[in-house]
């Protein structure tokens, strides 16, 4: 029998799908339901972090979980990221599957040593005897008008660290499935969530909880095109899709790829696309220097050199500390900057 087709949302439909299993969800609610499903499926799954219990997290992603699963499985912790992650390491060694919430992206750095020195290395240090099934959830990116340390994009630090898996969802469907897949993974996963879209009504999507998701470490073509390829992840995916819609009105056909997985990178669909379009624009909110965008540009130019009609162009946040809220709209990549990059690529 032929395999069922994967729809645009990355779910595999089929006869087993029930109508009442399809829900219209925001990204934040999809994460909440995904966490709930993981806790129901495995009693070894634990939630821990600052205010994740009674409050349900500052973004309410863990809302209702402590009430339903108890304080022994949803733990309010002290304000100590190093302590949260260090405790989770011990729990993972003992066979649990802890899910840590870092309240804001900029708060992850006090736990940096635990992540790169312990979480990333224990499996190799013990020659595979100790597994590290640990997930660290990180609300990341700008666009919420926050103060310093609340709008960072630190994903490149962790994608650079051997021993870690790094992924980022961009929509409600991926949020629901990817968080469950990350929890099921026996390797440590940094799970980056675009917090500006947690509760956006415009980002609601139909989530079929009976569907079969695509694999966790796989990128996906969201929109086919022939003029140029645009690659993005996390909060920048919506920017890329909006740019493709605007470009279509000008007679340009942009192919948009959502990376989804940042380490390991799944660039086969990107190579295939660039060999057809001859042009690539890579979009993310992080500073451009030594970023994931840099790595993607280098690999594409290495693998697709004779197919390129122009240099790979990067559209990033600027190489400055994240600015005050009133200036962030000038810092973040937007539709106009992506379209300008497309025009520069076509003019080459």
* Positions marked active-site: 150
Task: Please give the distance of CA 87 from its chain centroid, rounded to a whole number.
Answer: 24
Sheet order of strands, 261-263 included: 74-76, 45-49, 97-101, 135-140, 189-194, 165-168, 261-263
Q: How far apart are CA 59 and CA 150, in angstroms?
A: 13
Q: Compute how many other C-beta atoms are within 10 angstroms of the C-beta atom of residue 15.
A: 6
Tell me the CA distances in angstroms from 200 to 18, 24, 29, 117, 171, one per residue in order. 26, 12, 10, 36, 10
Residue 24, strand partner residues = 206
Q: How far apart are CA 155 and CA 194, in angstroms?
A: 12
Question: Contact, 49 vs 57, CB < 8 A?
Answer: yes
In this structure, what token pair is assigned to residue 232?
């993005």
CA pseudo-torsion sign 321, 325, 331, 332: positive
**Closest alpha carbon to 237 in 190, 284, 199:** 284
Q: Where are the alpha helices (DSSP H) in the chain?
A: 27-41, 65-69, 81-93, 112-113, 122-125, 155-159, 172-184, 236-248, 268-277, 292-303, 328-331, 335-346
């Amino acid at each position: 029998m032929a395999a069922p087709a994967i729809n645009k949302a990355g779910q595999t439909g089929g006869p087993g799908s029930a109508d009442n299993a399809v829900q219209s969800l925001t990204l934040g609610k999809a994460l909440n339901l995904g966490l709930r499903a993981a806790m129901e499926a495995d009693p070894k799954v634990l939630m821990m972090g600052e205010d994740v219990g009674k409050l349900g997290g500052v973004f309410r992603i863990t809302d209702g979980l402590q009430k339903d699963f108890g304080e022994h499985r949803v733990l309010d912790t002290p304000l100590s990221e190093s302590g949260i992650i260090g405790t989770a390491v011990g729990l993972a060694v003992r066979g649990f599957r802890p899910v840590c919430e870092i309240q804001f992206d900029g708060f992850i750095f006090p736990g940096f040593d635990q992540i790169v020195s312990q979480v990333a290395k224990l499996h190799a240090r013990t020659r595979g005897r100790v597994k590290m099934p640990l997930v660290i959830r990180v609300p990341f990116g700008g666009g919420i008008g926050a103060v310093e340390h609340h709008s960072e994009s630190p994903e490149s630090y962790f994608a650079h660290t051997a021993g870690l898996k790094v992924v980022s969802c961009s929509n409600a469907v991926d949020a629901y499935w990817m968080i469950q897949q990350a929890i099921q993974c026996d390797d440590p996963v940094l799970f980056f969530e675009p917090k500006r879209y947690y509760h956006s009504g415009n980002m609601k999507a139909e989530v079929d909880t009976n569907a079969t998701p695509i694999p966790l470490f796989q990128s996906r073509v969201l929109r086919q095109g022939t003029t140029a390829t645009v690659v993005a992840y996390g909060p920048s995916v919506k920017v890329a899709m909006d740019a493709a819609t605007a470009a279509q009105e000008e007679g340009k056909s942009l192919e948009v790829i959502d990376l989804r997985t940042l380490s390991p990178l799944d660039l086969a669909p990107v190579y295939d696309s660039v060999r057809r379009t001859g042009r690539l624009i890579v979009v993310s909110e992080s500073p451009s220097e030594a970023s994931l965008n840099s790595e993607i540009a280098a690999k594409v130019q290495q693998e697709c050199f004779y197919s390129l009609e122009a240099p790979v162009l990067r559209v990033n946040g600027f190489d400055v500390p994240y600015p005050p809220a009133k200036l962030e709209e000038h810092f973040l990549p937007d539709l106009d900057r992506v379209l300008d990059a497309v025009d520069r690529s076509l003019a080459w």
